[in-house]
């Protein structure tokens, strides 16, 4: 199956299926979408650990999964059991203490050569995707969460699809602008950026009940989402380039690993959460 066919299949099957899960399975404080998000984030964390291992870091993939998925899982549990005191901050502190303390007990001098690379990998995974993933779950606490989460997904992935399409059709002569991803084009970036603005602005005009944003505020939110979607993709590309790998994994035919597909939503979830809250006058913290 070609890359084009894979992208079309993703667009016509995966995205509508995800939207249906969000819209029609709100039970247990959106258990279906949050459970899926936690699982995907955990696998993405394992793939991140695999990238670090290519640079010589000796990491446990099981530990990577826990460090990546636990913050989002704890956040969801706090909503599910109505326990606002159940915060991932405590997990971050406990994980940091345990990770540092366990490096004391090596028996050979050469074992200590792995301490910095391993801790660098684990602490990075606590941040990305760990902390970033918390905000994917936090999107379900916003008013009209089904509609808002669907908007977030649509504006993110339509950005990616439009960037790819416009880049293929008209971006041939505007490529090689960034060493980190030479196949990306300026035309493609512009196509994806404006797609996010159009999606957010269009939804605010058509469904003002769910998205109480004036057109200028919707444009600001769309522009921010457009930029962070692009930067999320490029940031993950820099990790892969550092490790000398093309994809984070091989779970998704034609797309690579799960991290290759969730790099943008991970990156822009915190920005979307806070900016949407500010622009709609809702609580921020």
Any alpha helices (H) in the chain, and if so which ranges? Answer: 3-9, 15-24, 27-53, 61-80, 88-102, 115-125, 132-138, 145-170, 186-206, 215-243, 258-279
Q: How many CB atoms lie within 10 A of CB 65?
A: 19
Tokens 């366990």: give the residue: 102
Percent of the chain at pLDDT > 90 equals: 64
Predicted pLDDT of residue 66 = 97
pTM exceeding the 0.85 threshold for the entire prediction: yes
Q: Find how far residue 15's CA is from the centre of its chain.
A: 15
Q: What is the mean pLDDT of residues 143-149?
A: 89
Q: What is the mean pLDDT of residues 173-181?
A: 90
Q: What is the DSSP letter of 185?
A: B
Quote the tokens at residue 68: 């990546």
Pick from 120-129, 132-141, 169-178, 229-238: least confident: 169-178
Report pLDDT digits (tens) over 239-262: 999 999 988 887 776 677 889 989
Report pLDDT digits (tens) over 23-67: 767 878 888 899 999 999 999 999 999 999 999 999 999 999 999
CA atoms within 13 A of residue 204's CA, in its CB half-sphere:
22
CA distance 48 to 112: 22
Q: Which residues contact 178 (CB under 8 A, 6 or more apart)?
A: 184, 234
Question: For residue 5, is pLDDT > 80?
Answer: no
CA distance 229 to 114: 34
């Amino acid at each position: 199956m070609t890359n084009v066919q894979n992208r079309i299949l993703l667009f016509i099957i995966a995205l509508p299926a995800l939207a249906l899960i969000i819209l029609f399975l709100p039970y247990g404080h959106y258990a279906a979408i949050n459970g899926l998000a936690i699982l995907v984030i955990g696998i993405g964390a394992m793939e991140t650990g695999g990238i670090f291992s290519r640079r010589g870091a000796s990491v446990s993939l099981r530990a990577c999964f826990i460090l990546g998925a636990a913050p989002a899982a704890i956040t969801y549990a706090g909503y599910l059991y109505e326990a606002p005191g159940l915060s991932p901050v405590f997990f971050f502190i406990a994980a940091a203490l345990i990770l540092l303390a366990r490096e004391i007990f090596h028996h050979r001098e050469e074992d200590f050569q792995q301490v910095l690379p391993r801790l660098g990998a684990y602490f990075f995974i606590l941040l990305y995707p760990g902390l970033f993933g918390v905000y994917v779950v936090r999107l379900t606490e916003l008013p009209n969460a089904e509609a808002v989460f669907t908007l977030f997904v649509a504006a993110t992935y339509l950005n990616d699809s439009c960037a790819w399409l416009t880049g293929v059709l008209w971006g041939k002569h505007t490529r090689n602008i960034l060493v980190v991803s030479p196949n990306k084009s300026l035309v493609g970036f512009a196509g994806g950026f404006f797609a996010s603005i159009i999606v957010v602005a269009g939804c605010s005009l058509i469904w003002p009940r769910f998205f109480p944003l004036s057109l200028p505020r919707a444009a600001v939110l769309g522009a921010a989402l457009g930029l962070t979607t692009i930067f999320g993709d490029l940031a993950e590309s820099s990790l892969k380039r550092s490790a000398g790998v093309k994809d984070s994994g091989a779970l998704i035919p034609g797309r690579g690993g799960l991290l290759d597909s969730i790099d943008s939503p991970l990156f822009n979830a915190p920005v979307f959460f806070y900016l949407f809250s500010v622009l709609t006058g809702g609580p921020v913290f």
